[in-house]
């Protein structure tokens, strides 16, 4: 089953803090990893402990995509946040965030 990808309104702001090559890499990763079986845990996809951002994380190098699939729209992957890691610190929209 192919899933549809939907972006939260805040993603435009998150993308402003990434370079063009990072955005391109992220979009390629989303296309390859989340269109089919986004809830299957893999080396780069994993469920997260309870946190205020999202229940799932996709890792693309040092880039991170946080997403969810709701029960009312089970065929839509909702991208809730994007960012990057520098060392042990996660940055979303240019600000350090703690999970």
- Mean pLDDT score, 7-29: 96
Q: 10 Å Cβ neighbour count for 52?
A: 8
pLDDT classification of 1: cutoffs 50, 70, 90: confident
Give this prediction's pTM. 0.93
User: What residues does each domain of the chain span?
Assistant: 4-97
Q: Which CATH number fits domain 4-97: 3.30.2310.20, 3.40.50.300, 2.40.37.10, 3.40.50.1820?
A: 3.30.2310.20
The percentage of residues in the chain with a pLDDT greater than 90, rounded to a whole number, is 91
């Amino acid at each position: 089953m192919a899933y549809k990808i939907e972006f939260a309104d805040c993603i435009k702001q998150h993308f402003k803090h990434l370079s063009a090559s990072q955005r391109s890499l992220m979009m390629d990763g989303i296309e390859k990893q989340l269109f089919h079986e986004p809830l299957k845990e893999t080396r780069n996809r994993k469920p997260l402990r309870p946190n205020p951002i999202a229940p799932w994380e996709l890792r693309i190098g040092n880039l991170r995509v946080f997403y969810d699939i709701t029960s009312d729209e089970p065929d839509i992957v909702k991208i809730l946040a994007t960012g990057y890691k520098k060392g042990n610190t996660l940055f979303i929209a240019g600000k350090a965030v703690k999970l």
